[in-house]
Structure 1
Protein backbone atom coordinates (compact mmCIF):
# COMPACT_ATOMS: atom_id res chain seq x y z
CA UNK A 1 0.00 0.00 0.00
CA UNK A 2 1.38 3.39 -0.98
CA UNK A 3 1.74 5.69 1.99
CA UNK A 4 0.39 9.23 1.77
CA UNK A 5 2.56 11.37 4.05
CA UNK A 6 -0.48 13.35 5.17
CA UNK A 7 -2.37 10.25 6.30
CA UNK A 8 -0.30 9.64 9.42
CA UNK A 9 -2.03 12.65 11.00
CA UNK A 10 -5.46 11.16 10.36
CA UNK A 11 -7.18 10.60 13.73
CA UNK A 12 -7.81 6.99 14.65
CA UNK A 13 -10.56 5.68 16.89
CA UNK A 14 -9.59 5.15 20.51
CA UNK A 15 -10.34 1.45 20.04
CA UNK A 16 -7.37 1.20 17.69
CA UNK A 17 -4.81 3.31 19.55
CA UNK A 18 -2.49 2.00 22.25
CA UNK A 19 -0.10 4.32 24.06
CA UNK A 20 3.44 3.22 24.91
CA UNK A 21 5.50 4.98 27.59
CA UNK A 22 9.24 4.20 27.61
CA UNK A 23 11.92 5.02 30.17
CA UNK A 24 15.49 3.91 30.89
CA UNK A 25 17.43 3.02 34.01
CA UNK A 26 21.11 2.62 34.90
CA UNK A 27 22.39 4.27 31.74
CA UNK A 28 25.70 5.30 33.35
CA UNK A 29 28.18 3.70 35.76
CA UNK A 30 26.39 0.34 35.78
CA UNK A 31 27.07 -2.87 33.93
CA UNK A 32 23.49 -3.36 32.78
CA UNK A 33 21.48 -0.79 30.87
CA UNK A 34 17.72 -1.33 31.16
CA UNK A 35 14.85 0.05 29.13
CA UNK A 36 11.22 -0.58 29.90
CA UNK A 37 7.80 0.49 28.78
CA UNK A 38 4.13 0.08 29.52
CA UNK A 39 1.44 -0.21 26.90
CA UNK A 40 -2.16 0.71 27.57
CA UNK A 41 -5.21 1.20 25.34
CA UNK A 42 -5.78 4.94 24.95
CA UNK A 43 -9.38 4.64 26.08
CA UNK A 44 -8.21 3.32 29.47
CA UNK A 45 -5.57 5.98 30.13
CA UNK A 46 -7.71 8.44 32.10
CA UNK A 47 -9.02 5.72 34.42
CA UNK A 48 -5.52 4.35 34.98
CA UNK A 49 -4.14 7.78 35.83
CA UNK A 50 -7.01 8.34 38.28
CA UNK A 51 -6.25 4.99 39.91
CA UNK A 52 -2.58 5.97 40.33
CA UNK A 53 -3.61 9.28 41.90
CA UNK A 54 -5.79 7.41 44.38
CA UNK A 55 -3.08 4.86 45.21
CA UNK A 56 -0.60 7.62 46.05
CA UNK A 57 -2.69 8.88 48.97
CA UNK A 58 -2.12 9.79 51.71
CA UNK A 59 1.69 9.51 51.82
CA UNK A 60 2.45 10.88 48.36
CA UNK A 61 -0.16 13.47 47.34
CA UNK A 62 2.19 15.63 45.29
CA UNK A 63 5.42 15.45 43.36
CA UNK A 64 6.96 13.03 40.91
CA UNK A 65 7.17 9.35 41.79
CA UNK A 66 10.70 8.17 41.11
CA UNK A 67 12.74 5.15 42.06
CA UNK A 68 15.37 7.50 43.46
CA UNK A 69 12.82 8.99 45.86
CA UNK A 70 11.66 5.75 47.48
CA UNK A 71 11.86 6.18 51.26
CA UNK A 72 10.47 4.68 54.43
CA UNK A 73 7.71 7.30 54.72
CA UNK A 74 6.58 6.83 51.09
CA UNK A 75 7.12 3.10 50.69
CA UNK A 76 3.48 2.16 51.29
CA UNK A 77 2.34 4.51 48.52
CA UNK A 78 4.86 3.07 46.05
CA UNK A 79 3.69 -0.44 46.89
CA UNK A 80 0.05 0.52 46.31
CA UNK A 81 0.90 2.00 42.92
CA UNK A 82 2.70 -1.22 41.96
CA UNK A 83 -0.25 -3.26 43.23
CA UNK A 84 -2.62 -1.17 41.11
CA UNK A 85 -0.63 -2.08 38.00
CA UNK A 86 -0.79 -5.79 38.77
CA UNK A 87 -4.29 -6.05 40.25
CA UNK A 88 -6.58 -3.10 39.45
CA UNK A 89 -9.24 -3.41 36.77
CA UNK A 90 -8.07 -0.10 35.26
CA UNK A 91 -4.77 -1.82 34.37
CA UNK A 92 -6.18 -5.10 33.12
CA UNK A 93 -4.86 -4.49 29.59
CA UNK A 94 -1.74 -2.59 30.65
CA UNK A 95 1.49 -4.57 30.25
CA UNK A 96 5.12 -3.90 31.10
CA UNK A 97 7.97 -5.06 28.84
CA UNK A 98 11.67 -4.48 29.42
CA UNK A 99 15.04 -5.29 27.94
CA UNK A 100 18.44 -5.59 29.54
CA UNK A 101 21.74 -4.82 27.76
CA UNK A 102 25.12 -5.94 29.07
CA UNK A 103 27.20 -2.82 28.43
CA UNK A 104 30.41 -4.87 28.79
CA UNK A 105 29.57 -6.34 25.39
CA UNK A 106 28.74 -3.06 23.66
CA UNK A 107 31.18 -2.05 20.92
CA UNK A 108 30.16 1.45 19.92
CA UNK A 109 33.26 1.96 17.79
CA UNK A 110 32.52 -1.06 15.63
CA UNK A 111 28.74 -0.97 15.39
CA UNK A 112 27.59 2.55 16.33
CA UNK A 113 30.08 4.87 14.64
CA UNK A 114 31.64 5.47 18.05
CA UNK A 115 28.41 6.98 19.39
CA UNK A 116 26.75 5.84 22.62
CA UNK A 117 23.70 7.84 21.52
CA UNK A 118 23.32 5.72 18.39
CA UNK A 119 23.65 2.59 20.50
CA UNK A 120 21.02 3.81 22.95
CA UNK A 121 18.62 4.69 20.12
CA UNK A 122 19.03 1.18 18.73
CA UNK A 123 17.82 -0.27 22.03
CA UNK A 124 14.76 2.00 22.01
CA UNK A 125 14.12 0.73 18.49
CA UNK A 126 14.42 -2.88 19.68
CA UNK A 127 11.97 -2.38 22.54
CA UNK A 128 9.44 -0.44 20.45
CA UNK A 129 9.66 -3.11 17.75
CA UNK A 130 8.90 -5.77 20.35
CA UNK A 131 5.73 -3.90 21.24
CA UNK A 132 4.79 -3.77 17.56
CA UNK A 133 5.25 -7.52 17.21
CA UNK A 134 3.36 -8.40 20.38
CA UNK A 135 0.34 -6.23 19.53
CA UNK A 136 -0.17 -6.85 15.80
CA UNK A 137 -3.50 -5.05 15.42
CA UNK A 138 -2.76 -1.87 17.37
CA UNK A 139 -1.85 1.61 16.20
CA UNK A 140 0.70 3.25 18.49
CA UNK A 141 1.38 6.57 20.11
CA UNK A 142 4.92 6.30 21.48
CA UNK A 143 6.06 8.52 24.37
CA UNK A 144 9.70 8.16 25.48
CA UNK A 145 10.84 10.07 28.55
CA UNK A 146 12.37 13.40 27.55
CA UNK A 147 16.15 13.43 27.16
CA UNK A 148 18.77 15.58 25.47
CA UNK A 149 19.37 14.08 22.04
CA UNK A 150 20.07 15.17 18.50
CA UNK A 151 17.44 12.73 17.20
CA UNK A 152 13.99 14.17 16.58
CA UNK A 153 11.06 12.04 17.80
CA UNK A 154 9.60 12.17 14.28
CA UNK A 155 12.81 10.57 12.98
CA UNK A 156 12.39 7.67 15.41
CA UNK A 157 8.77 7.30 14.31
CA UNK A 158 9.78 7.12 10.66
CA UNK A 159 12.62 4.64 11.33
CA UNK A 160 10.24 2.39 13.26
CA UNK A 161 7.64 2.51 10.50
CA UNK A 162 10.17 1.76 7.80
CA UNK A 163 11.34 -1.18 9.91
CA UNK A 164 7.81 -2.50 10.18
CA UNK A 165 7.33 -2.17 6.43
CA UNK A 166 10.61 -4.01 5.79
CA UNK A 167 9.35 -6.76 8.11
CA UNK A 168 6.16 -6.94 6.00
CA UNK A 169 3.90 -5.67 8.76
CA UNK A 170 0.35 -5.57 7.40
CA UNK A 171 -0.40 -2.24 9.10
CA UNK A 172 0.23 0.97 7.22
CA UNK A 173 2.67 2.87 9.45
CA UNK A 174 1.58 1.58 12.88
CA UNK A 175 3.57 4.22 14.79
CA UNK A 176 1.44 7.30 14.18
CA UNK A 177 2.93 9.52 16.87
CA UNK A 178 6.25 9.75 18.70
CA UNK A 179 6.71 12.57 21.18
CA UNK A 180 8.90 13.06 24.21
CA UNK A 181 7.07 13.46 27.50
CA UNK A 182 8.14 15.06 30.77
CA UNK A 183 8.06 12.31 33.39
CA UNK A 184 7.22 14.83 36.11
CA UNK A 185 3.88 15.42 34.37
CA UNK A 186 3.26 11.88 33.08
CA UNK A 187 2.02 9.30 35.61
CA UNK A 188 2.56 6.33 33.27
CA UNK A 189 6.24 7.22 32.85
CA UNK A 190 6.51 7.39 36.63
CA UNK A 191 4.98 3.91 36.83
CA UNK A 192 7.59 2.64 34.36
CA UNK A 193 10.34 4.20 36.50
CA UNK A 194 9.14 2.28 39.57
CA UNK A 195 8.78 -1.07 37.79
CA UNK A 196 12.04 -0.74 35.87
CA UNK A 197 13.89 0.52 38.92
CA UNK A 198 12.88 -2.65 40.74
CA UNK A 199 14.43 -4.78 38.00
CA UNK A 200 17.58 -2.65 37.83
CA UNK A 201 18.04 -2.79 41.61
CA UNK A 202 18.43 -6.54 41.37
CA UNK A 203 20.09 -6.81 37.97
CA UNK A 204 22.86 -4.37 38.84
CA UNK A 205 23.09 -5.77 42.39
CA UNK A 206 22.51 -2.45 44.08
CA UNK A 207 21.16 -4.43 47.03
CA UNK A 208 24.73 -5.65 47.70
CA UNK A 209 26.13 -2.16 48.25
CA UNK A 210 26.98 -1.23 51.84
CA UNK A 211 24.67 1.78 51.68
CA UNK A 212 21.81 -0.02 49.91
CA UNK A 213 18.39 1.35 50.79
CA UNK A 214 16.32 -1.22 52.73
CA UNK A 215 13.16 0.48 51.50
CA UNK A 216 14.15 0.11 47.84
CA UNK A 217 15.05 -3.51 48.53
CA UNK A 218 11.61 -4.10 50.03
CA UNK A 219 9.89 -2.45 47.07
CA UNK A 220 12.00 -4.38 44.54
CA UNK A 221 11.18 -7.65 46.25
CA UNK A 222 7.51 -6.71 46.36
CA UNK A 223 7.41 -6.00 42.62
CA UNK A 224 9.31 -9.20 41.78
CA UNK A 225 6.90 -11.26 43.90
CA UNK A 226 3.90 -9.70 42.19
CA UNK A 227 5.50 -10.38 38.80
CA UNK A 228 6.37 -13.97 39.74
CA UNK A 229 10.06 -13.47 38.93
CA UNK A 230 12.74 -15.38 40.84
CA UNK A 231 15.74 -15.26 38.49
CA UNK A 232 16.67 -12.01 36.78
CA UNK A 233 19.31 -13.72 34.64
CA UNK A 234 16.62 -15.68 32.84
CA UNK A 235 14.22 -14.27 30.30
CA UNK A 236 10.57 -14.37 31.23
CA UNK A 237 7.98 -15.56 28.75
CA UNK A 238 7.96 -13.29 25.70
CA UNK A 239 4.38 -12.19 26.41
CA UNK A 240 2.55 -11.49 29.62
CA UNK A 241 1.85 -8.81 32.20
CA UNK A 242 5.51 -8.25 33.10
CA UNK A 243 8.39 -9.39 30.89
CA UNK A 244 12.18 -9.16 30.95
CA UNK A 245 14.31 -9.75 27.87
CA UNK A 246 18.08 -10.12 28.33
CA UNK A 247 19.35 -9.03 24.93
CA UNK A 248 22.05 -11.26 23.47
CA UNK A 249 24.78 -9.11 21.93
CA UNK A 250 27.79 -10.20 19.91
CA UNK A 251 30.90 -10.74 22.00
CA UNK A 252 33.54 -8.06 21.53
CA UNK A 253 35.94 -9.12 18.80
CA UNK A 254 33.61 -11.78 17.38
CA UNK A 255 33.16 -11.09 13.66
CA UNK A 256 29.78 -10.82 11.98
CA UNK A 257 28.57 -13.88 10.10
Structure 2
Protein backbone atom coordinates (compact mmCIF):
# COMPACT_ATOMS: atom_id res chain seq x y z
CA UNK A 1 0.00 0.00 0.00
CA UNK A 2 1.28 3.45 -0.94
CA UNK A 3 0.13 6.47 1.03
CA UNK A 4 0.70 10.21 0.76
CA UNK A 5 1.63 12.30 3.80
CA UNK A 6 1.15 16.08 3.74
CA UNK A 7 2.92 17.91 6.60
CA UNK A 8 2.63 21.56 7.57
CA UNK A 9 3.30 23.59 10.71
CA UNK A 10 1.61 26.31 12.70
CA UNK A 11 2.92 28.79 15.30
CA UNK A 12 6.58 28.17 14.57
CA UNK A 13 7.65 31.56 15.93
CA UNK A 14 6.68 33.81 18.86
CA UNK A 15 4.33 31.24 20.41
CA UNK A 16 4.90 28.76 23.20
CA UNK A 17 3.43 25.76 21.40
CA UNK A 18 4.69 24.66 18.03
CA UNK A 19 2.22 22.56 16.04
CA UNK A 20 2.98 20.12 13.26
CA UNK A 21 0.09 18.50 11.42
CA UNK A 22 0.06 15.78 8.83
CA UNK A 23 -2.70 14.38 6.65
CA UNK A 24 -2.20 10.79 5.53
CA UNK A 25 -4.28 9.34 2.68
CA UNK A 26 -3.98 6.46 0.25
CA UNK A 27 -2.09 7.60 -2.82
CA UNK A 28 -4.80 6.39 -5.17
CA UNK A 29 -7.42 8.43 -3.27
CA UNK A 30 -5.43 11.67 -3.08
CA UNK A 31 -6.35 13.16 -6.51
CA UNK A 32 -10.10 12.84 -5.94
CA UNK A 33 -9.79 14.19 -2.39
CA UNK A 34 -7.82 17.20 -3.64
CA UNK A 35 -10.46 17.84 -6.29
CA UNK A 36 -13.17 17.77 -3.62
CA UNK A 37 -11.31 20.40 -1.60
CA UNK A 38 -11.03 22.67 -4.62
CA UNK A 39 -14.73 22.22 -5.27
CA UNK A 40 -15.63 22.91 -1.63
CA UNK A 41 -14.14 26.41 -1.58
CA UNK A 42 -16.62 27.85 -4.11
CA UNK A 43 -18.38 30.22 -4.34
CA UNK A 44 -16.93 32.14 -1.36
CA UNK A 45 -13.32 31.35 -2.30
CA UNK A 46 -13.35 30.44 -5.97
CA UNK A 47 -9.60 30.95 -6.34
CA UNK A 48 -6.57 30.99 -4.11
CA UNK A 49 -5.15 29.06 -1.20
CA UNK A 50 -7.09 28.13 1.92
CA UNK A 51 -5.01 28.80 5.04
CA UNK A 52 -5.58 29.26 8.74
CA UNK A 53 -4.13 32.75 8.47
CA UNK A 54 -6.75 33.69 5.87
CA UNK A 55 -9.86 32.57 7.75
CA UNK A 56 -12.49 35.32 7.77
CA UNK A 57 -16.20 35.71 8.39
CA UNK A 58 -17.01 36.17 4.69
CA UNK A 59 -15.30 32.86 3.83
CA UNK A 60 -16.45 30.79 6.80
CA UNK A 61 -18.84 28.66 4.76
CA UNK A 62 -15.99 27.55 2.49
CA UNK A 63 -13.76 26.62 5.43
CA UNK A 64 -16.61 24.74 7.11
CA UNK A 65 -17.15 22.72 3.93
CA UNK A 66 -13.43 21.85 3.87
CA UNK A 67 -13.75 20.44 7.40
CA UNK A 68 -16.87 18.49 6.44
CA UNK A 69 -15.10 17.08 3.38
CA UNK A 70 -12.41 15.57 5.58
CA UNK A 71 -14.86 13.96 7.98
CA UNK A 72 -17.73 13.05 5.65
CA UNK A 73 -16.76 12.81 1.98
CA UNK A 74 -16.17 9.26 0.66
CA UNK A 75 -12.93 10.37 -1.02
CA UNK A 76 -11.50 10.96 2.48
CA UNK A 77 -12.45 7.59 3.94
CA UNK A 78 -8.78 6.55 4.10
CA UNK A 79 -7.59 9.96 5.34
CA UNK A 80 -6.43 10.71 8.86
CA UNK A 81 -4.92 13.75 10.55
CA UNK A 82 -2.14 13.37 13.09
CA UNK A 83 -0.51 16.24 14.94
CA UNK A 84 2.49 16.80 17.18
CA UNK A 85 2.74 19.53 19.83
CA UNK A 86 6.06 20.86 21.12
CA UNK A 87 6.33 23.08 24.19
CA UNK A 88 9.09 25.38 22.94
CA UNK A 89 9.72 26.71 26.45
CA UNK A 90 11.32 23.34 27.20
CA UNK A 91 13.48 23.16 24.08
CA UNK A 92 17.23 23.61 24.57
CA UNK A 93 18.69 24.20 21.13
CA UNK A 94 22.15 24.89 22.50
CA UNK A 95 22.39 21.55 24.28
CA UNK A 96 20.65 19.28 21.77
CA UNK A 97 20.39 20.99 18.37
CA UNK A 98 23.83 22.49 17.78
CA UNK A 99 22.39 25.85 18.77
CA UNK A 100 20.06 25.82 15.78
CA UNK A 101 16.29 26.17 15.94
CA UNK A 102 16.20 24.88 12.35
CA UNK A 103 17.83 21.61 13.43
CA UNK A 104 15.30 21.36 16.26
CA UNK A 105 12.39 21.97 13.90
CA UNK A 106 13.60 19.29 11.49
CA UNK A 107 13.83 16.82 14.38
CA UNK A 108 10.14 17.38 15.10
CA UNK A 109 9.25 16.76 11.46
CA UNK A 110 11.23 13.53 11.76
CA UNK A 111 9.23 12.54 14.86
CA UNK A 112 5.85 13.11 13.19
CA UNK A 113 6.88 11.43 9.94
CA UNK A 114 8.18 8.45 11.91
CA UNK A 115 4.81 8.10 13.64
CA UNK A 116 3.18 7.32 10.31
CA UNK A 117 5.56 4.40 9.81
CA UNK A 118 4.61 3.03 13.22
CA UNK A 119 0.89 3.39 12.54
CA UNK A 120 0.96 1.97 9.00
CA UNK A 121 3.16 -1.08 9.32
CA UNK A 122 2.74 -2.32 5.75
CA UNK A 123 2.68 1.01 3.88
CA UNK A 124 5.21 2.88 1.80
CA UNK A 125 5.24 6.65 1.99
CA UNK A 126 5.37 9.69 -0.25
CA UNK A 127 6.01 12.60 2.11
CA UNK A 128 5.20 16.15 0.99
CA UNK A 129 6.31 19.12 3.07
CA UNK A 130 5.13 22.70 2.78
CA UNK A 131 7.77 24.67 0.87
CA UNK A 132 10.10 26.64 3.16
CA UNK A 133 13.61 28.03 3.31
CA UNK A 134 16.04 25.60 4.92
CA UNK A 135 19.59 24.39 4.47
CA UNK A 136 18.47 20.76 4.79
CA UNK A 137 16.96 19.09 1.75
CA UNK A 138 13.95 16.77 1.76
CA UNK A 139 16.23 14.04 0.44
CA UNK A 140 18.35 14.41 3.60
CA UNK A 141 15.21 13.85 5.66
CA UNK A 142 14.24 10.81 3.58
CA UNK A 143 17.60 9.19 4.19
CA UNK A 144 17.44 9.88 7.92
CA UNK A 145 13.88 8.52 8.14
CA UNK A 146 14.77 5.30 6.35
CA UNK A 147 17.87 4.79 8.47
CA UNK A 148 15.77 5.36 11.56
CA UNK A 149 13.29 2.70 10.52
CA UNK A 150 16.08 0.23 9.79
CA UNK A 151 17.58 0.88 13.23
CA UNK A 152 14.15 0.26 14.77
CA UNK A 153 13.99 -3.15 13.12
CA UNK A 154 11.57 -2.22 10.35
CA UNK A 155 11.77 -4.90 7.64
CA UNK A 156 10.38 -2.74 4.84
CA UNK A 157 12.83 -1.87 2.10
CA UNK A 158 13.09 1.92 2.25
CA UNK A 159 9.53 2.66 3.46
CA UNK A 160 9.94 6.37 2.69
CA UNK A 161 10.07 6.31 -1.08
CA UNK A 162 9.70 10.04 -1.69
CA UNK A 163 10.18 13.22 0.31
CA UNK A 164 9.59 16.53 -1.47
CA UNK A 165 8.63 20.13 -0.92
CA UNK A 166 5.30 21.21 -2.39
CA UNK A 167 3.82 24.64 -2.93
CA UNK A 168 0.82 24.84 -0.63
CA UNK A 169 -0.96 27.17 -3.06
CA UNK A 170 -1.31 24.29 -5.51
CA UNK A 171 -1.48 21.38 -3.03
CA UNK A 172 -4.97 21.32 -1.49
CA UNK A 173 -4.25 18.52 1.00
CA UNK A 174 -1.68 20.79 2.65
CA UNK A 175 -4.56 23.18 3.29
CA UNK A 176 -6.12 20.63 5.64
CA UNK A 177 -2.86 20.13 7.55
CA UNK A 178 -2.39 23.88 7.93
CA UNK A 179 -5.96 24.63 8.99
CA UNK A 180 -6.29 21.77 11.47
CA UNK A 181 -2.87 22.51 13.02
CA UNK A 182 -3.77 26.19 13.19
CA UNK A 183 -7.05 25.43 14.95
CA UNK A 184 -5.33 23.38 17.65
CA UNK A 185 -2.57 25.97 18.12
CA UNK A 186 -5.23 28.69 18.38
CA UNK A 187 -6.47 27.01 21.57
CA UNK A 188 -3.14 25.87 23.00
CA UNK A 189 -1.46 29.26 22.63
CA UNK A 190 -4.33 31.06 24.33
CA UNK A 191 -5.61 33.00 21.33
CA UNK A 192 -9.09 31.53 21.67
CA UNK A 193 -9.65 33.09 25.09
CA UNK A 194 -8.38 36.58 24.28
CA UNK A 195 -10.95 39.38 24.30
CA UNK A 196 -9.96 40.42 20.79
CA UNK A 197 -9.94 36.86 19.42
CA UNK A 198 -11.04 36.59 15.81
CA UNK A 199 -14.71 35.53 15.81
CA UNK A 200 -14.23 33.56 12.57
CA UNK A 201 -11.16 31.67 13.79
CA UNK A 202 -12.83 31.04 17.14
CA UNK A 203 -15.87 29.56 15.43
CA UNK A 204 -13.83 27.47 13.02
CA UNK A 205 -11.44 26.13 15.66
CA UNK A 206 -14.38 25.16 17.87
CA UNK A 207 -16.06 23.44 14.94
CA UNK A 208 -12.93 21.45 14.03
CA UNK A 209 -12.53 20.21 17.60
CA UNK A 210 -16.25 19.39 17.73
CA UNK A 211 -16.11 17.35 14.52
CA UNK A 212 -12.96 15.58 15.70
CA UNK A 213 -14.45 14.69 19.08
CA UNK A 214 -11.59 16.41 20.93
CA UNK A 215 -12.83 17.99 24.16
CA UNK A 216 -9.49 19.22 25.46
CA UNK A 217 -6.60 19.79 23.02
CA UNK A 218 -4.20 20.06 25.97
CA UNK A 219 -4.52 16.30 26.51
CA UNK A 220 -3.23 13.58 24.20
CA UNK A 221 -5.82 11.71 22.19
CA UNK A 222 -5.49 8.03 21.31
CA UNK A 223 -2.39 7.35 19.22
CA UNK A 224 -4.46 6.17 16.24
CA UNK A 225 -7.71 7.45 14.79
CA UNK A 226 -9.21 9.92 12.37
CA UNK A 227 -7.84 12.94 14.26
CA UNK A 228 -5.08 12.74 16.86
CA UNK A 229 -3.02 15.07 19.03
CA UNK A 230 0.35 14.07 20.50
CA UNK A 231 2.08 16.28 23.05
CA UNK A 232 5.66 15.18 22.70
CA UNK A 233 7.55 14.87 25.99
CA UNK A 234 11.04 16.25 25.47
CA UNK A 235 13.91 14.41 27.11
| TM-score above 0.5, yes or no | yes
Unpaired stretches in structure 2, ≥5 consecutive residues: none
| TM-score normalised by structure 2 residue count | 0.98
Q: Say what the alpha-carbon RMSD is for the aligned residues.
A: 0.8
Partner of 1:28: 13
| TM-score normalised by structure 1 residue count | 0.90
Range that drifts further, 50-59 or 172-181: 50-59
Partner of 1:203: 188
- In structure 2, how many angstroms separate the alpha carbons of the residues matched to 1:129 and 1:183? 22
Kindly state the Cα deviation for residue 232 of structure 1 after the two structures are TM-superposed: 1.2
Three-state SS of the structure 1 residue aligned to 2:182 is helix
Partner of 2:26: 41
Kindly state the Cα deviation for residue 209 of structure 1 after the two structures are TM-superposed: 2.6
Number of equivalent positions: 235
Kindly state the Cα deviation for residue 210 of structure 1 after the two structures are TM-superposed: 3.3
Partner of 1:220: 205
Three-state SS of the structure 1 residue aligned to 2:30 is helix
Tell me the alpha carbon deviations over residues 82-133 of structure 1, each in whole angstroms, 9 at most, x when there is no partner: 0110111110000000000000000001111111011001000000000010
Three-state SS of the structure 2 residue aligned to 1:232 is coil
- In structure 2, how many angstroms separate the alpha carbons of the residues matched to 1:74 and 1:49? 19
| Aligned residue among 96, 99, 103 for 1:114 | 99
- In structure 2, how many angstroms separate the alpha carbons of the residues matched to 1:45 and 1:32? 30
Kindly state the Cα deviation for residue 208 of structure 1 after the two structures are TM-superposed: 2.4
Larger fraction in helix: 2
- In structure 1, how many angstroms separate the alpha carbons of the residues matched to 2:161 and 2:210? 35
- In structure 2, how many angstroms separate the alpha carbons of the residues matched to 1:66 and 1:240? 24
| Runs of 4+ with deviation above 4 angstroms | none
Unpaired stretches in structure 1, ≥5 consecutive residues: 1-15, 251-257
- In structure 2, how many angstroms separate the alpha carbons of the residues matched to 1:172 and 1:47? 28
Partner of 1:75: 60
- In structure 2, how many angstroms separate the alpha carbons of the residues matched to 1:154 and 1:46? 24
Three-state SS of the structure 2 residue aligned to 1:160 is helix
| Aligned residue among 84, 88, 91 for 1:99 | 84
